[in-house]
Structure 1
Amino acid sequence: MKYIIELRRIRDFGEIINDTFTFLKQNFKPLFSSLLVICGFFVLVGTVATAFSQLSVYDSLDPGAKGDYNSTLKVGISAAANGFVMMLAQFFIYLTTLCFVAVYLEKKGDKPTAQDVWGYFKYYFFRSLGSGLLLFILLIFGFLFCIIPGIYLTPIFYLILPTMIMENASFGYSFNKGFRLIKDNWWMVFGIIFVCSLIVSVSNSIASIPLMLVASLRILVSFKYLSIAAVIFFSMLQNILLLTYAIPTIAIALCYFSLQERKDGTGILERIEAFGTHADKADDLPAEQY
């Protein structure tokens, strides 16, 4: 007998947070195997980009390099490249995790394989990339107009890609449904994003804080080779910890399923249709859900 998490059910704030970590715990190995297979390239490239960016900053702090145009240009280029790689890595992690959840839903709790997730990833990649770029541009305009519109749109936009992938929907349909799902639930979705983002930020500080300390110490003490080794190690750790972005992605997926259930009752209809059938499995549905 296997214990699965019923994705399509109504959850409150606490249940979404709890079930996010329950899902992560139960699927840790297949999920992070898929993330490493699909996103591992960005861990390696990100490590190089982060290390190069940090070392460029350290070199620019050298008294002999102050005011040097080439040094400043090098810092700017390396920082831009590092930022670009990290943005791509976060997008790949977000999409891979959503595809994993979609496969989990389709297989009704059977452990998804990296090959299964890769099939979904390839299918949705260009549609999701184009949609993500458009949403990113809209968010920038939202934040430019007094910041508040950008804050308001963020929880809505987070629901668009889950809708697109879970329902194999177009961007227009997913965009409209995001606004429909968020109605009367904006604060809950915003709270989920805030709490999970805070968790990710704390975990990523494990690497970012030591990197800043190495920079500070390099100004005071000369330990070139040791500092380079430390930068490479913590750069790698920082990029590996980017995989923790799977946590808010799972939470957003559970938000989508919960709001969808409130609005459309998809899961209830499926259980009514399956009433009387026997399956050798257990789920996490409380009795009152039936």
Structure 2
Amino acid sequence: MDERFSRPKGFGQILDHTFSLSKRHFKDLFLILLIFMGPIYLLQAIIELFSGVSFFREVGVGGTWYEQILSSFDDTEDINLGADLAIASVGLISIFIAPVATAAVMFVVDHVRKGEEYTVGSVIKQAFSRYWPMLGSTILFGLIVFGLFIVPTIIITIAVVVGAIIFPIVGIILAILLFGSFCIGVGLLLTRWSFYFGSVVFQEETPGLSRSWKLTRGRTWALFGLFIIFSLIVTMISTILELTFGLFLGNSVLLSLIINAASIFTTLIFTVGYAVMYFDLKIRHDADDLKEMIEEYHTPQI
């Protein structure tokens, strides 16, 4: 077993291990995600081209070059409603493909953890062997996420509106307090359940929600913080690239391809980070189970 997987890691060590693994196995990991996500992004590009979006540089009306670039985003949004709907439909397909890609990356990390040889084809085959349990569990988790967001949002909206009617400043304060508490509460709750996927992939439990709840015990805040860090990294990379290339390319097909390529890269980092966190939880949980067994063994029976 890889020594770095054999002991519990702190916050910074998990981040460091994630970037180290991503760098060392970048070629295989990127290829896996490209195999699954590449055709989807290519289809999106073809739809955009047929809808009239320029491939290299999309410009709109305006006197200066930056006015033309900025107006290109408004123009394409107004004109290409049909293309947007088609692209949204293509994006829906990714819901059924994403679990396999994620599982394949996790199998790579697992083989590295055990010091085993692997090929891209072998981990993809492993991932497909767990397709239906993964898909079913992911849909269930998605429904839970939807319910956790929609119900509190309705309650908060009603409370804020009522508070604003009675006294405007009360409505503002209430909105801030309720929204902040809601985000933190839901975030922590989803963190407790979020490792269901690893449990399903490695056949520990399906749908894996109770297993995830046990694994994350005592580590919820640290894991919540790690998810925030990874989300910020993904957002920063995507935003910087979109702003930088958008200044020169406008809302063109080439810009979409660049952003999508960056999306594969950020997905790679996020997925490897998820796998590292999952195996860290397993090490901690298995160690706790072992301690309990030792304590039970040494406890005299009455």
Task: Say whether the fold is shared (TM-score over 0.5).
Answer: yes
Contact 1:99–1:121 under 8 Å retained in 2: yes
Structure 1 residue aligned with 2:254? 233
Q: CA RMSD in A?
A: 3.6
Contact 1:100–1:112 under 8 Å retained in 2: yes
Structure 2 residue aligned with 1:35? 33
Structure 1 residue aligned with 2:132? 126
Once the two structures are TM-superposed, the CA of residue 161 in structure 1 deviates from its matched residue by 0.8
Alignment of 1:246-265 (within 5 A): 246-265=268-287
From 145, 158, 171, the equivalent of 2:151 is 145
Q: Name the CA shift for 1:92/1:40 in 2 (closer, same or farther; >3 Å).
A: farther
Contact 2:188–2:221 under 8 Å retained in 1: no
Contact 1:11–1:258 under 8 Å retained in 2: yes
Q: Name the CA shift for 1:14/1:54 in 2 (closer, same or farther; >3 Å).
A: farther
Q: Output the CA distance in 2 between the equivalents of 1:175 and 1:53.
A: 43
Query: What fraction of aligned residue pairs are identical, expressed as a percent?
Result: 22
SS at match of 1:11: coil
Contact 2:101–2:127 under 8 Å retained in 1: no
Structure 2 residue aligned with 1:74? 82
Contact 1:45–1:85 under 8 Å retained in 2: no
The one-letter amino acid of 1:194's match is I
Alignment of 1:115-264 (within 5 A): 115-146=121-152, 148=182, 150-166=186-202, 168-172=203-207, 174-209=208-243, 213=247, 231-243=252-264, 244-264=266-286
Q: Output the CA distance in 1 between the equivalents of 2:117 and 2:281.
A: 25
Gaps of 5+ in 2: 61-71, 154-181, 292-302
Structure 1 residue aligned with 2:112? 104
Q: Name the CA shift for 1:120/1:51 in 2 (closer, same or farther; >3 Å).
A: farther
Once the two structures are TM-superposed, the CA of residue 75 in structure 1 deviates from its matched residue by 5.7
Structure 2 residue aligned with 1:220? none
The one-letter amino acid of 1:242's match is S
Once the two structures are TM-superposed, the CA of residue 90 in structure 1 deviates from its matched residue by 4.7
Q: Name the CA shift for 1:197/1:92 in 2 (closer, same or farther; >3 Å).
A: farther
Q: Output the CA distance in 1 between the equivalents of 2:97 and 2:236.
A: 18
SS at match of 1:162: helix
Once the two structures are TM-superposed, the CA of residue 206 in structure 1 deviates from its matched residue by 4.1
The one-letter amino acid of 2:261's match is I
The one-letter amino acid of 1:238's match is I
Contact 1:103–1:117 under 8 Å retained in 2: no
Q: Name the CA shift for 1:189/1:16 in 2 (closer, same or farther; >3 Å).
A: same
By relative contact order (CA 8 Å, sep 6+), the higher-ranking structure is 1
Q: TM-score, normalised by structure 2?
A: 0.67
SS at match of 2:252: helix
Contact 2:134–2:197 under 8 Å retained in 1: yes
SS at match of 1:18: helix
Q: Once structures 1 and 2 are overlaid, which stretch shifts more, 50-59 or 198-207?
A: 50-59
Q: Name the CA shift for 1:83/1:116 in 2 (closer, same or farther; >3 Å).
A: closer
Q: Output the CA distance in 2 between the equivalents of 1:202 and 1:118.
A: 30
Once the two structures are TM-superposed, the CA of residue 150 in structure 1 deviates from its matched residue by 3.4
Q: Output the CA distance in 1 between the equivalents of 2:118 and 2:289.
A: 21
Q: Name the CA shift for 1:123/1:90 in 2 (closer, same or farther; >3 Å).
A: closer
Q: Output the CA distance in 2 between the equivalents of 1:89 and 1:52.
A: 25
State the Cα deviation string for residues 26-61 of structure 1 (Å, max 9, x = none). 211222233333443233234445667894998895
Larger radius of gyration: 2
Q: Name the CA shift for 1:49/1:75 in 2 (closer, same or farther; >3 Å).
A: closer
Once the two structures are TM-superposed, the CA of residue 110 in structure 1 deviates from its matched residue by 3.8
Once the two structures are TM-superposed, the CA of residue 156 in structure 1 deviates from its matched residue by 2.4
SS at match of 2:129: helix
Aligned length: 245
Q: Name the CA shift for 1:34/1:72 in 2 (closer, same or farther; >3 Å).
A: closer
